[in-house]
Amino acid sequence: MVKWSAEFTFLKVFPQVFELIKAGGWLMLPIVLCSVLATAIVIERLWSLRREKVAPKNLLPQVWKWFKDGDLTNDKLKELRRNSPLGEIMAAGLVNARHGREIMKESIDEAASKVVHELERYLNALGTVAAVAPLLGLLGTVIGMIDVFTVIMLEGSGNAAILAGGISKALVTTAAGLSIAIPAVIFHRFLIRRVDELVVTMEQDATRLVEVVQGERKVDFSEGGKA
């Protein structure tokens, strides 16, 4: 019953949505495309920016155990690079660990720049959608109002129904643009904040790795000890 009810509701609402899009005119097409693009970016980034995917909590103790036991083979370094962005950063540092602290840290910084760029992928596009969508809506409203005043000029202002319908049609694009822009702005800020938090976490773990590998800090990860 719930499934049939949901399908019935969708079939009932879809024609109304289609008529609303049709009423907005041709500018509704880029507005709808903005909506699809923003939705796709938000879903993809929420999935890609999960903490357990980007910076696994137990990765540093595991890497330290491999290094301490002399079990850090090329295969494990490749696995480390492949499994997470934090692993890619750590692998870059470990490959150059024998060259000293400064070289190791420089290698980590170079890898981190690439990783951060990947974490921020598509966020500029989402911000652009958030900025452009209301402008497209406003443009649609301006074009609609021009049409309304053209009707007034040709037929006069005696027919209130025609004028009200024209103004209503003109405002559809603005409403649609704002409906897309508001959640796009919210998710853009949320995702930027999440990237910042992940970057801080990775920076802290990478710094701890450099210090323990170079013998500047004592740590016991096996018992949950802190550096």
Residue 157 has pLDDT above 70, yes or no: no
Determine contact, residues 95/201, Cβ cutoff 8 Å. Answer: no
pLDDT at position 72: 79
The more confidently predicted of residues 47 and 216 is 47
* 201 inside domain: yes
* 12 inside domain: no
Tell me which residue range forms the domain holding 107.
27-214
Provide the domain count of the chain: 1
* 223 inside domain: no
Determine contact, residues 212/63, Cβ cutoff 8 Å. Answer: no
Angle among Cα 37, 43, 46 to the nearest 5 degrees reads 135
Residue 217 pLDDT class (50, 70, 90 cuts)? low
What whole-number distance in Å separates Cα of residue 223 and Cα of residue 135?
57
pLDDT at position 227: 47
Residue 1 has pLDDT above 70, yes or no: no
DSSP 8-class letter at 173? H
Per-residue model confidence as pLDDT tens digits over 173-195: 888 999 999 999 999 999 999 99
* 219 inside domain: no
| Among candidate residues 114, 112, 76, the one with its CA nearest the CA of residue 95 | 76
* 119 inside domain: yes
* 18 inside domain: no
Q: What share of the chain is helix, strand, coil (3-state, %, to 5)?
A: 85, 0, 15
Sign of the CA dihedral with 191 first, then 192, 193, and 198 last: positive
The more confidently predicted of residues 200 and 16 is 200
The more confidently predicted of residues 129 and 5 is 129
Residue 225 pLDDT class (50, 70, 90 cuts)? very low
Distances (CA, A) of 205 to 48, 54, 212: 20, 12, 11
Of 10-14, 56-60, 89-93, 158-162, minimum mean pLDDT range: 10-14
Determine contact, residues 136/32, Cβ cutoff 8 Å. Answer: no
Residue 15 pLDDT class (50, 70, 90 cuts)? low
| pTM attached to this predicted model | 0.80
Per-residue model confidence as pLDDT tens digits over 23-61: 667 788 899 999 999 999 999 999 999 999 999 988 988
Distances (CA, A) of 190 to 84, 138, 147, 185, 193: 21, 26, 39, 9, 5
Question: What's the gap between Cα 49 and its chain centre?
Answer: 8
Sign of the CA dihedral with 37 first, then 39, 41, and 44 last: negative
Residue 142 has pLDDT above 60, yes or no: yes
Amino acid in the structure at residue 166: G
Long-range contacts: 91-96, Cβ < 8 Å, 24+? Answer: 93/206, 93/209, 93/210, 93/213, 94/63, 94/67, 94/209, 94/213
* 10 inside domain: no
* 221 inside domain: no
The more confidently predicted of residues 196 and 4 is 196
Determine contact, residues 47/125, Cβ cutoff 8 Å. Answer: no
pLDDT at position 111: 92
The more confidently predicted of residues 205 and 15 is 205
The more confidently predicted of residues 81 and 187 is 187
